[in-house]
Structure 1
Amino acid sequence: MIYQSPPACLQIGSWRFDPSSGELEDGVRRVRLEPRSAAVLAHLAASPDEMISREQLIAAVWADTVVGEDALARAIFKLRRALGDDSKAAAYIETIPKRGYRLIAPVGAVESAPRKQAEITRKAPHAVTLVLLAAGIIAGVLTYWQLNPESPKASQPAESAPLIARAQDFYHRYSRADNEAAIELYERILTREPDKPDALAGLSNALVQRVIRWPELADGEHAQFRSLGAALANGHLTQPRFARVLERAELLARHALSLEPDNPLLHRSLGLVLGAQARLDEAIAEYRAAIALDPDAWGAMINLAEMLGLQGNGTDSLAMFVSAYEAMTRRYETDKQHIEPWYTELAVLIGDRLQLAGRSSESESWYRRALQHAPLNPAATAALAELLAGGGREAEAQQLCAELLTRVGAQTPCPRRSEAEAAD
């Protein structure tokens, strides 16, 4: 395949955008965008002043790759940084909370030669022509970068992107072996690109998980803790060798945040470290910062709920867990890979918290919601059966448990039993 001449350029606000190189130029500065960021900009420019949903942008720009909305958030962040834009007082890219983005700067066509300037108008008289031009640029941006892999500036992100994706995949499996694989991959990336924010934060996260979930204790035995609260209660995180790991993780997270201060994922990474260091107020501040930047940051919401619970604020903790579940629901289709492992579990947890608060009818509703999503889920079935049995609905409880045993052969006690009951 032979690459033809690049598509025409666009004037976006004070910037001239050249899709053949992915460059922005304003007469003083010249900035080269990464391929995906350039494609996002071109897609937004195809419909100036119109909201483009997150789903539409992901489908258009990452058509050949399965990604979550964090990939789009990073591309938008990098675009804003290149344009000199501020998300809190946007002049170029406006965030439409929970929906998508809109290009609000004036857009117009401009000839490739920099000496000729086109008249810029927010509502161009040849709107159809502009839309077709921008649509051609979207294709041109992706085609150009795909057909010119020898470009040294374009190849560096392409080299690290697969490794980062692989490291993130290992990290999200939450096993000791997979976490160690993620650490190895992140270290490998940072050897080549020491200022890569994704890798800095990823390594920080994995190091924190190493000392929280799978610490090697003094006797050489590896313990395992399922939550930060359990790890803090055990007391090992304050031991010097674990504290040193957390100090390194904090440095990594702060360095990443200094490079991309408006990235919600990086605020969450720093919050994770601070929580492990028992600096709960500081951790809460970082999680709230992440949520302010991304109102659907469900991971930060779950972490914040845990922090509030550790501070004894059960009411706000429960409300935040519910907010996290609602955010997960909104983002489920675009981030299914990361949400699915926690979706049913969170519904059961919310049901448990409501049951402890004496709100049985609401608790039952959450257990049934979990089973609506994941029929015959052992934990949700056992929890619902326990609630029904405790409310005098023994026949319903027995029917649930019998079906679970017959169809799944689950080993989960059904109904759930307390430790004292299990010992009898």
Structure 2
Amino acid sequence: MQSGQIDLGLAPPARLGRLTLTPALRLIRRDDGVEEVVEPRVMQVLLALAEARGQIVRREDLTLRCWEGRVVGEDAINRVLSRLRRVAEGTGQGSFRIETITRIGYRLIEEGAHTDGPAESAAQPSERAALPFPRRAVLAGMGAGGLALAGAGWWRYGRSDMPAPAREAMERGIEALRLMTPDHLAVAVAAFRQAAQLAPKAAAPWGCLALAWRWLDGLSHGQEASLDAQRARDAAQTALRLDPDNGDAQATLATLVPKYRNWLAYERACQPVLMRHPGEVGIGILTIDLLSNVGRIRDLSGLARGLLASNPAWPWLHTAVALSSWCLGRLDEADGAIERAFQQWPRHTTVWFQRQMMLAYSGRGAAALAMIEDEDHRPVGLPDWDFDLAAAETRALMSRSRADIDKASSLFRERAGQAVGIATGAVRFFAAVGRLDEAFKVLEALYFDRGFDVKDQAYTKEQGTYIQRWDRPTWLFWLPPMAALRVDPRLIPIFQTTGLSDYWQKSAKHPDFAIAGGVG
């Protein structure tokens, strides 16, 4: 029997009867497409029972593995078991049931499986000892996980030559990679390194490692960013020595060149990789990032939708589809995309704040405020002032009263210099309420360092992410609240300084919206 605390962020996907379990997302998906997101404790207990393979799990073992060894009353355990039984009767119908062994503990019985020993594994006999769950070896094409394309098609790169522990490490790495936070990317780096050590002749671990370092580089600053970039380059070159056609490695090297004010060269570096590997998430996300900044939202929408169809377990792709649909005036499609993401990752910071913003700026402020006021279900690890700012912004958009707008404006002026993300939020708000002069003051600081300094933090210091001076975002211009600002002549020198005007002229690819200067 397994021992030790269950960490959902590190636990790999698993099969249980007709179900696919994705612990990091707390997602249970049946093979007919029915799915459910459960509470963290429910997923932990389900994993603990499933790992026992039909053997009895004592209450003491459950508290050790799922409650960090804390003393908890029977009521707490019973509540979780009750919820788990409801899952078994609903989404999990025909897959498993829970038995209570009086005064001892519980056991999970997989429907159709033997209960007196390990269930038969789909892996080869030599692999079974390394697999914590029945039928975990063959995971390619899973509906919830989409592992066949998750990291950029790593399954195609010598999977059959990789030992089971290396495949396990790859799966853990890809699960972490999808969430794209600094902590999850660090987990991904460790997992891919382990896979590379276990399968030294396989290019896939090195390619995925390069991609993880590449994304960490984009979130870091100073010396750390330089080190991450070099690590990404080294891992990519190792992957290409093993397999010159490794898509992740090609994507990494193509996009280590500067993007800001270098849009056309960046695009030309990305294009051949995207054409060679059109279904791979790595180069796809990096290309989407480019398209969002240069205003090609229709192209972005098509690319994001295509990738999402094969890779539904990437929160970033859901938000890209939602945001592009909103920008293009397709509110129903935008709502559908962000709601699907919110159901799966309700406390993911990007998903939560994007949903709150879209509600606030599309006339549904009451729903946005309800999110903010529901403290038990907000993203964790963020300061209260971040939510206070969002609440003031939302109230001002709802009431349009001078007092509420003044209050939100004052908070934005106070905070705009603390982070790039807050500065872009300030521009969005000022544009939406018709205070374009204030919007341009923030833009002057953001792009020209005039008036006040905007620090390199992406958002709050608690999140630990950064946007460096040479990588300032321009995607904010295409949001719906920015319509009036986009056609203001004062935006022309900003388009010129950021290199957008040069890109549009030389590429003959214009933004999808009317803008100052008339190239849209």
Under TM normalisation by the shorter chain, which class is it? 0.3 to 0.5
Q: TM-score under structure 2 normalisation?
A: 0.37
Q: TM-score under structure 1 normalisation?
A: 0.43
